Structure 1
Amino acid sequence: MSAPIRRSVLSDDVHESLKALIVSHQLAPEAKLNIDGLARSLQVSPTPVREALARLESEGLVRKRPLAGYTVSPLLTRDEFNDMFDMRMVLEGASARWAAARASGDARALILGSAAIADPEGPHSHASFTARDALFHDHVAAAATNPLLRDAITRLHAHLHIHRLYFPFAETASTSQEHHHIAAAIAAADPAAAEAAMHAHLAAARTRHLAAFDT
């Protein structure tokens, strides 16, 4: 007989399932979340759902109000979106600079290998694009060897993930090319070039995503 699944593993699975539903808008922004209903849908007890929602709250993807329970976080306003990108410029510029200066050889290779975000099996998959793009940025943040910086970047990305439903997928090649410029500078151990490439990428990404506010 196989060993029983540990609660932590189940909670992780529920967290990832709920996060995917939020990012894909199957759980819409500002939707009220019913713990018992989610538990039935995921075929688990309410306990791992509560644990997952607490984690999602810390990541900024859900909100909890007294007596009202959990709701999916709303989409950012244009001003909030610009504020988020201003913070990304500061934090991710630093992460690219420090990664170029501090990364191990294995970390540099990992960043190079994750620069492409095009998925040959699903080029128009929102979930695939989100996962691949987030993974690249997380590899850069991890290579900067500053856990607090990495955590702050992860939290900022949570709101961007929701907006990515509106991403123009014709621009995935541009995003991949920008990632490659960042990765190449990090691989070459050139902090100034890595920071400049990250800033250029984020400026272009901001422009691409702002189109969602004009629809």
Structure 2
Amino acid sequence: MARAPTVSRRSVNLLLDHIMDSVAVGEALPTEHRLAALGEGSRSAVRSAIAHFFERGLISGMKERRLLRKPRQADYFDVADLQSGTERVRQVLMELIYQGDWPPGTEFSEAHLARAAGVSTISVREFLIGFSRYGLIRKRPQGGWRLCAFDRAFAMEVAEVRQMFELAAIERFAALAADDPAYAALDQLIARHEQLGAVMPARHQDFPALDRDFHTFLIGCLDNRFAQGFYDIVSLVFHYHYQWDKGTERVRNEHAVHEHLAILHALARRDTAAAMEGMRVHLGSARSTLLQAAQTREPAHYEIGQPQQ
């Protein structure tokens, strides 16, 4: 069997979890439509997953699809295998900026990023060229890349577009049926936020990953490629604290956890008005922080990035 696309591999793992918990040996798998919802993928991804199950001897056939045995660990795809080359490059770049505290002006090479991500320099170059259109990284004439600063105008543009997408995501989620699988994911997000909130401030540095999961969960409800693409820049600017004052990071993170919970609880009880208001409050806080970040460093000391035409 040919190597399945990343989205199909994710669907396989999600569906294996469902089969383990909810399908008895001898029972047929749910319909393709139901599997697509459970696996958070397309019909094509589901068919690829079914083929994987048949090849592994989990089901009796491609049509009948009766479960022959419960899943084993070997049936799952490795977590590291669920990321495409582009996703690995994106994640590693963000982690280097956040954990390495790379300020504007930091220079790095494609080879460095390729080694860290475990991908080819061609994959790195393709990602960086595409990402450079936002103006936060720039190719150096003598080779390599440089992180650029952002100014107040950039911060306002990001905040305005972000609000448009996130409020639309709240409306889309509110229109889901009460039995939609997204509500199970919502419950998990609530539990994770409550767990982290209970150990704040000692674990406040765990918040950026949860923050990203919260926002990408909502944006995923839009199923909009343009919204997904825009969140590359949001991840860099917001979730990985690019240019942010680390001195106030703990207080910001504690406050944001409570703002997230207000939105999540409103969605869980299907109170759309409260969820929309909670999101406006949260985005207002983020906008204020971003504007402060734009003034943190004197612009004269850094190259201000401009979007690439």
TM-score tier (shorter)? 0.7 to 0.9
1:192 to 273, 285, 295: 273
Shift of 1:52: 4.6
Instruction: Count residues in correspondence.
Output: 207
Alignment pair present for 1:109 and 2:187: no
1:133 aligns with 2:211: yes
Match of 1:28, SS? coil
- Which residue matches 1:82? 156
What do the CA deviations read for 1:123-164 (whole angstroms, capped 9, x no partner)? 242xx3222101101111112343433433443343223245
Which residue of structure 2 lines up, in the alignment, with residue 29 of structure 1? 104
- How far off is 1:200 after superposition? 1.1
- Secondary structure at the aligned position of 1:114 is classed as helix
Query: TM-score, normalised to structure 1's length?
Result: 0.73
Q: 1:3-18 maps to which residues of 2 (within 5 A)?
A: 9=84, 12-18=87-93
Deviation at 1:174, TM superposition (A): 1.9
Matched-pair contact (CA < 8 Å) for 2:104–2:243: no
User: In structure 2, which of residues 150, 156, 169 is the aligned counterpart of residue 95 of structure 1?
Assistant: 169
- Counterpart residue number, 1:205: 286
More deviation in 163-172 or 80-89? 163-172
What fraction of aligned residue pairs are identical, expressed as a percent? 25
Q: Distance in 1 between matches of 2:219 and 2:164?
A: 13
Q: Take 1:169 and 1:202, find their aligned partners in 2: how far apart are those partners? A: 18
- Which amino acid letter does the alignment assign opposite residue 63 of structure 1? R
| Worse overlay, 9-18 or 191-200 | 9-18
Amino acid at match of 1:23: Y
Alignment equivalent of 2:250, drawn from 169, 178, 186 = 169
Output one character per residue of 1:65-92: Cα deviation in whole Å (capped at 9) or x when no partner. 6x45452442321332133212222221
Q: Tell me which amino acid in the other structure corresponds to 2:267.
A: I
Shift in Å at residue 48 of structure 1?
4.3
CA 1:90/1:108 → structure 2, altered by over 3 Å: closer, same or farther? same
1:179 deviates by 0.7
User: Structure 1: any 5+ residue segments left out of the alignment?
Assistant: none
Q: CA RMSD in A?
A: 3.5
TM-score, normalisation: structure 2:
0.54
Distance between the aligned counterparts of 1:210 and 1:59, measured in 2?
A: 17
Question: How many angstroms apart in 1 are the aligned matches of 2:110 and 2:259?
Answer: 41
* CA-CA distance at 1:21 after TM superposition: 0.6
> In the TM superposition, what are the counterparts of 1:19-58 in structure 2 within 5 Å?
19-39=94-114, 46-54=121-129, 56-57=131-132
Q: In 1, distance between residues paired with 2:253 and 2:113? A: 33
Quickly say closer, same or farther: Cα 1:155–1:37, change in 2 above 3 A.
closer
Inter-partner Cα distance in structure 1 for 2:87 and 2:296: 36
Unaligned runs of 5+ in 2: 1-79, 298-309
Contact 1:98 1:191 in 2 (8 A): no
Matches of 2:118 and 2:221 in 1, distance apart? 38
The structure having more radius of gyration, on CA atoms, is 2
Separation (CA, whole Å) in 2 of partners of 1:202 and 1:89: 7
Q: Which moved more, 1:54-63 or 1:141-150?
A: 54-63
Residues 25 and 183 of structure 1: CA distance in aligned 2, closer, same or farther (over 3 Å): same
Structure richer in helix, relative to its length:
1
Equivalents in 2 of 1:40, 1:152: separation in Å? Answer: 26
Asked whether the equivalents of residues 101 and 189 of structure 1 are also in contact (C-alpha less than 8 Å), the reply is no
